Structure 1
């Protein structure tokens, strides 16, 4: 499987990571200012999301909303940000990506904002075990990375359109991954498709890895399709890959042995945390309407 302009990966995960790490990633221009703006970042209490929040505050962001599943933990992460940026308004809002009720409540809360400029849907998960979410009755990787992310994106679109300044489109970035280019997607011909993700037959560590890849591939497709329904004059929507990054909390739910392997790989070939965050900033601050409906990887636009 592939995007429209990117071929499937034939080099495997390590090869894809090495290709990504060779790319030069640069920060936004020094003149970039987010003064007066409001930004939402989901999953921003750890890893790339947290560093992205820090960097946006360094660019004089006026209002940051950290959307997280566990507000108590996020308050600890927010404390040093508030200390470093006392003039910024930094809020922690509850958002459980395993609950449709929570997602809808979060969107209603967003609708009360006076202004909303940017939303970065960074929350994601990978795990080795097959688990059905008791609330939605769907497998959890598929639920969080695709179904819930797509729902939240759809709910935020009209808010971004109506709450961004006149003449300036809102910005919505969904965090994807270049690993989507190597998804095997064995259930791609299932009819209907969604229930096939809730079948544990043959589940193992390799299938769990491919499930993550599939969800990121589905986000390419979603962004491409939703861009046909939303004008770039209203909201610019794209998908962005941060690359394999040190300090990411993505693998924290894997078994100890798997975490150890990823820990070694991150030490040897992963990008610094701030570089992964630069990819996010590039997608929502540097890239313009030309990126609408596209996948941005290594700061290059792929339609």
Structure 2
């Protein structure tokens, strides 16, 4: 159990992180949110390891085309031009459930690498200053950072399990944040909430910062609940990661208003911030490094396993997390009729 610690944060930000490497020549890797920042740097690292397939996703076709070009320019064309077809980029917009469903349909239909999937790194995320609803009726950060990420993880779970073996289980990595330590600030009296997701979705529930860090806490809860239901020995090692305080484009929405531009400048020029490339190293470590048993169900930061928010270990936190799982599965089962079957066939009964 842990709380945010300023001294530990500063030490970690200034620590030199290792660049994890390994033999991924037989593996298919999927990485979301790759057009800029940490996601792009992770994609470049993965491509340089020459996987059987790297499937990098972006919000639209134009970003996919440019991202693939950048990844090829920085890695593949120099190292193995004959294998450039092993880098693919498909559109995936987590703003809408339709896009997630269509992506899953395409993955099943085109059967890239024989529908093999050994590693899924769910990196895509967003921060918005103003309350914004998606066409599905959900607040944007709640849908992108949590609901659509959970839907994608569940829909890809059968492929991860099918591609797993005893010596090398597949891996599911969901990018969270150190902000998850602050995510419980608005979670009071939750036992009286009629609906967890409905309450969080309300415009008057909290402000943008609280909503962002809460979405990252929900990611940690989702992985912990998923891990508790995976069979043993596990076919999928699942964890959450914190890239750290990075100079990236995550908070670009703060550049749009004069009164939040100083915050954007602080993020980009603070001596405490690390580069996106440095931030991507913890994603690599979670995806291909570390001992399976050590990272399974855990939260990683600075290429190490750290204790999650203390709230998760309180009676209220445990009850909240269990209810969140039930509500999430119920909702996503209505969004995509494949979800109930996947849950029933691949996870243990509560």
Q: TM-score, normalised by structure 1?
A: 0.88
> In the alignment, which residue of structure 2 is the partner of 1:46?
36
Consecutive unaligned residues in structure 2, runs of 5 or more: 308-350
Aligned to 2:338: none
**Distance between the aligned counterparts of 2:33 and 2:251, measured in 1?**
14
Q: Could you say what secondary structure the match of 1:227 adopts?
A: helix
Cα drift, residue 253 of structure 1: 2.0
- Per-residue deviation at 1:82? 2.4
Q: CA deviation at 1:8?
A: 2.5
Which residue number corresponds to residue 68 of structure 1? 58
How far did 1:166 drift? Answer: 6.5
> What is the CA–CA distance in structure 1 between the aligned matches of 2:164 and 2:181, rounded to whole Å?
33
1:19 deviation in Å?
4.5
Which stretches of structure 1, 4 residues or more, deviate above 3 A after TM superposition?
A: 164-167
The match for 1:81 is 71
Q: Which has the higher helix share?
A: 2
Question: What is aligned with 2:223?
Answer: 223
Write the deviation string for residues 57-115 of structure 1: whole angstroms up to 9, x where unpaired: 11222311111211212211211322441223111112111221211221233332312
The CA deviation at 1:198 is 2.3
> SS at 1:105's partner residue?
helix
Q: Distance in 2 between matches of 1:72 and 1:16?
A: 40
Q: Could you say which residue in structure 2 is the equivalent of 1:284?
A: 287
8 Å CA contact 1:168–1:233 kept in 2: the answer is: no
Return the alpha-carbon distance in structure 2 between the equivalents of residues 16 and 97 of structure 1.
33
Cα 1:245–1:300 shift into 2, 3 Å: same
Whole-Å Cα distance in 1 between the matches of residues 306 and 157 of structure 2? 22
The match for 2:267 is: 265
Residue 20 of structure 2 is aligned to residue 28 of structure 1 = yes
Aligned partners of 1:138 and 1:197 also within 8 Å: no
Give 1:240's aligned residue: 241
Aligned-partner SS, 1:237: strand
Partner of 1:228, secondary structure, is helix
Aligned residue number for residue 118 of structure 1: 119
Q: What secondary structure does 1:194 align onto?
A: helix
Q: Which residue of 2 aligns with 1:94?
A: 91
Structure 1 residues 302 and 9 mapped into 2: Cα distance closer, same or farther (>3 Å)?
A: closer
2:38 match: secondary structure: helix
- Aligned pair in 2 of structure 1 residues 75, 19: CA closer, same or farther (>3 Å)? same
- Take 1:106 and 1:23, find their aligned partners in 2: how far apart are those partners? 38
Match of 1:154 in 2: 154
Change beyond 3 A, Cα 1:38–1:227: same
